Structures are given as structure tokens and as C-alpha cells.
């Protein structure tokens, strides 16, 4: 791995131009070329200078079980922030039932977020800065499609990280959360299209798919501005 470049080595003008173009590039890569480019940005966060990050180079998830919990905490922060925004600025035509569901789910995600923060204690990562610029919060389609993506992603994330945990207690607590995420996913999918509660989230044996932390962070990276240093994540 390359050492971090000293910040401020370039002139402010170049820094600024470079910053803009790299932001735009990343955006378009994410949007049009799939998630690969964002993944590189995230994974390489620990060893490559990025003008968009803190001087320290990003937020370190730590190692071992703490890293897995911080990873979950990052995802719950993202989900909670999303539903807080959804309920603060509801999409046009939202029904009373949908308002109830969104408010319920918001509170569940806040509960998950605060629980993980408390469970991790002093080693918890800071509050992350999110990027929801790709979401149209006035559009039901846009909001529900994003909700579905987040809920499905959350399920695959907990399922894919379960075996990495060394503590049976943490595994049980993750299990208590993941089935609630699956319930959310099922509901959101039904709100979008009836009888899609399993949809493309199961394989030919009707087992829910799972994703490695690396795969998850590539997808979630689109919505997280803060750099995450993931080098200590077990794999």
C-alpha cells in the first residue's frame, strides 16, 4: 500500500479542479458503470489520498467483531438517515398507511443505530455524512425503490457477515435485527409490486442471497460521503 500523500502538496486551484472532476467521475461511474469504481474508492480509502475525506484519511471501522459491528452501525446510520428524511419530506401522494409504515421503519432503524452505537461503546465510529442526491424524495417510485435497495442490502449484509463474528452474543443480536430488516424488505416490495416479497433476493433453493462486506460497501458507497477504512474488517 502507498503511504498517504501529504495534503496541501498541490496548489489550491488544482486541488479544487481535481476534486470536482474526481467527484463527477465517481458519480458517473456509479451511475453508469455499475458499482466497481466506488468499491475501489472505499476499499482503497486507507491507502490512497482522497481530497474529499478528512485529513486523517477517513473513518476506521477497527478490527475483529468491533469492525463488523461498526460496519452494521454504518449501514443502520444510512437507513435511519434515509427514513428520517422520508418522513420529514413525504413523497407526493403518500397514504396514511404508508406514512405509518415509514414512521415505524424509521424508528426501528433508529433503534438499531442507537443500539449498535451503545453496544460498540467507545470504539463506535462517528456519525457518517450521507449523500442522498440521487434520490428524488418527492417521488414515491424513487423513495420506495431506494427503501427496497437498502432493506434488501441490509439483509444480505447481516447474512454475509454472520459467520465472521466470533461472539455468539453478537451473532444472536445481529439475528434479532436481520429478520426485522427482512420483514421491512418484504413490506416495501409488496408496496411496489404484489407478490415480490421474495423476488430476486432468493436463489434456486429459496435461500436469501448474502453479500460480503466488500460487496455491500461497494453498493452502499454511493450514499456514504465519509470515507470508511475497512482494512481491519475480517474476511
Q: Which residues contact 97 (CB under 8 A, 6 or more apart)?
A: none
Q: How far is the CB of 210 from another protein (least distance, A)?
A: 6
* Residue 86 interacting with another protein (CB under 8 A): no
Instruction: Give the 3-state DSSP-derived string for 150-210, with helices as H, strands as E and coil as C.
Output: HHHHHHHHHHHHHHHCCCHHHHHHHHHHHHHHHHHHHHHHHHHCCCCCCHHHECCCCCECC
Q: How far is the CB of 189 from another protein (least distance, A)?
A: 8
The site map against another protein for 114-153 (x = CB under 8 A) is xx--xx----------------------------------
Q: How far is the CB of 148 from another protein (least distance, A)?
A: 12
Residues facing 60 on adjacent strands:
229
* Residue 61 interacting with another protein (CB under 8 A): no
Rounded to 10 deg, the angle between the 36-43 and 12-32 helix axes is: 130
Cβ closest to another protein, residue 23 vs residue 176: 176
Gap between the Cα atoms of 223 and 69, Å rounded: 19
Which residues bind to another protein, rule: CB under 8 A?
Answer: 84, 87, 104, 106-108, 110-112, 114-115, 118-119, 155, 158-160, 162-163, 165-166, 168-169, 171-173, 175-187, 190, 194-195, 197-198, 201-210
Amino acid at each position: 500500500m502507498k503511504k498517504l500523500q501529504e495534503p496541501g502538496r498541490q496548489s489550491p486551484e488544482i486541488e479544487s479542479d481535481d476534486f470536482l472532476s474526481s467527484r463527477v467521475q465517481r458519480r458517473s461511474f456509479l451511475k453508469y458503470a455499475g458499482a466497481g469504481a466506488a468499491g475501489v474508492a472505499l476499499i482503497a480509502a486507507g491507502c490512497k489520498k482522497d481530497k474529499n475525506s478528512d485529513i486523517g484519511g477517513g473513518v476506521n471501522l477497527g478490527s475483529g467483531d468491533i469492525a463488523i459491528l461498526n460496519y452494521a452501525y454504518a449501514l443502520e446510520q444510512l437507513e435511519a438517515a434515509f427514513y428520517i428524511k422520508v418522513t420529514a419530506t413525504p413523497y407526493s401522494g403518500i397514504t396514511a398507511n404508508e406514512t405509518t409504515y415509514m414512521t415505524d421503519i424509521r424508528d426501528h432503524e433508529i433503534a438499531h443505530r442507537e443500539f449498535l452505537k451503545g453496544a460498540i461503546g467507545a470504539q463506535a465510529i462517528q456519525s457518517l455524512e450521507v449523500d442522498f442526491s440521487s434520490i428524488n424524495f418527492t417521488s414515491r417510485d424513487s423513495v420506495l425503490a431506494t427503501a427496497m435497495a437498502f432493506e434488501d442490502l441490509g439483509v444480505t449484509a447481516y447474512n454475509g457477515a454472520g459467520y465472521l463474528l466470533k461472539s455468539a452474543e453478537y451473532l444472536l443480536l445481529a439475528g434479532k435485527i436481520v429478520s426485522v430488516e427482512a420483514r421491512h424488505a418484504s413490506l416495501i416490495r409488496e408496496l411496489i409490486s404484489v407478490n415480490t416479497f421474495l423476488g430476486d433476493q432468493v436463489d434456486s433453493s429459496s435461500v436469501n442471497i448474502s453479500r460480503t462486506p466488500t460487496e455491500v460497501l461497494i453498493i452502499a458507497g454511493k450514499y456514504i460521503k465519509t470515507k470508511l477504512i475497512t482494512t481491519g474488517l475480517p474476511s
